[in-house]
Every structure is written in structure tokens, then in C-alpha cells.
Amino acid sequence: MELVVKQPSAKKRKRSRRLFVRTKVCRFCSDAEAELDYKEPKTLRIFLTERAKIIPRRISGNCAKHQRKLTLEIKRARHLALLPFTSAHS
């Protein structure tokens, strides 16, 4: 019988809590110029993932008020086909 030498279990790597430096302030509160509007899909697109999902508040850093507005405007824009519901089907 072969003796199996167990390797010392690799200690679980401590993951750094925040991989990305996130913007803590809501960009719509800080920037009066930035407007939330379904007619501005360029602005809304920043808050969509590759698969066209809306980025959650804890990541985007938006305040509750603006996140609510954001989802509403994104949904409006989707309805008008200015934004995708999902990534393109292949």
C-alpha cells in the first residue's frame, strides 16, 4: 500500500472585501447635470450589466430615491426598445 501524504490543506485565501473601489455617493445627487430619463438610454446603460440586468444599489452606490427612479426609467426605456431586456439571443 502506498502511503498517501496529505498535503497541508491550503488555507482559505482571505478575499479582499472590496475588489473595486466603488463610488460611495449617488451620482445623481452629487451631479445636478446628470438626469434620469428614459429618453437618455446612454446614461441608463451604465447601470446595466452585460446581460442587461440592472446593477443593484449596493454596487452602483445610488441612493434609494434615485435607484427607484432609475429602475422605472430603465423599464420605460426597455418598453420603447431603447434598452435591451436581455443580451442579444444568438
- The contact set with Zn ion (CB under 5 A) reads 26, 28-29, 63, 66
> Residue-wise over 52-74: b if at least 16 C-beta within 10 A, else e?
eebeebeebebbeebbeebeebb
Between 31 and 87, whose beta carbon lies closer to Zn ion?
Answer: 31
Return the amino acid letter for 81: A
> Minimum distance between the CB of residue 67 and Zn ion, rounded to whole angstroms?
8
> Minimum distance between the CB of residue 79 and Zn ion, rounded to whole angstroms?
24
Between 45 and 57, whose beta carbon lies closer to Zn ion?
Answer: 57
By Cβ distance, which residue is nearest to Zn ion? Answer: 26
> Minimum distance between the CB of residue 27 and Zn ion, rounded to whole angstroms?
8
Between 61 and 84, whose beta carbon lies closer to Zn ion?
Answer: 61
How far apart, in whole angstroms, are the C-alpha atoms of residue 6 and residue 26?
51
3-class state of residue 43 by DSSP: helix
In the 8-state DSSP scheme, what is residue 35? -
